[in-house]
Amino acid sequence: MKNFEKDPYNKHQNFLYNRAMYGLSIYSRDEVQEMDLQKKKRIVRLHKKTQTILNLWKQEIVNTLANKLFTDIFPRMDITNTLVEKFGIEGDPEYVNKMSFKMLNISKPQIVDKLIEAKVLPKNFKILEDDIRTRTATVSK
């Protein structure tokens, strides 16, 4: 029997999260066609910013783990110290990390915290209540 976690976020919070994560793809084709051009641009810009932030974060996590592995296995080697010092944990915006959040053991609440910290999601995100105006947008992925 599998244990499923209950999503701690309400419909409005999930709508904001999904819009940042998936961009225009959460809307139907008709909704996108009816949408104002400026709104489309804002959503695309938000989605790109989100993807950049999360991509660099995933790289930092992988780089931190790799550095720890190398320094644990080869603690006194000059090459290890040089590599760790030269490259550190900083990510490369041109490289796309394709590792899943699950593989990196990153939870949805951790992603939410990262997006709040980066000001992609509002700082009051965790206390937002359902918004009647929020459409039931489904992710079409």
Distance CA 140, CA 134 (A): 17
Which amino acid appears at position 136 of this protein? T
36-73 pLDDT tens trace:
999 999 999 999 999 999 999 999 999 888 888 888 88
Q: Rounded distance, CA 37 to CA 96, Å? A: 28
Q: Quick one: pLDDT band at residue 139, thresholds 50, 70, 90?
A: very low
Determine whether 79 is exposed, middle or buried from the number of CB atoms within 10 Å of its CB (0-12, 13-18, 19+): exposed
d(CA 21, CA 124): 18
Per-residue pLDDT band for 79 (boundaries 50, 70, 90) equals confident
Alpha carbons 19 and 17: distance in angstroms, whole number: 6
pLDDT reading at 135 higher than 80: no
Token code pair at residue 130: 């359902």
pLDDT digits (tens, 9 = 90+) for 20-32: 999 999 999 999 9
87-125 residue pLDDT tens? 777 888 899 999 999 999 999 999 999 999 999 999 999
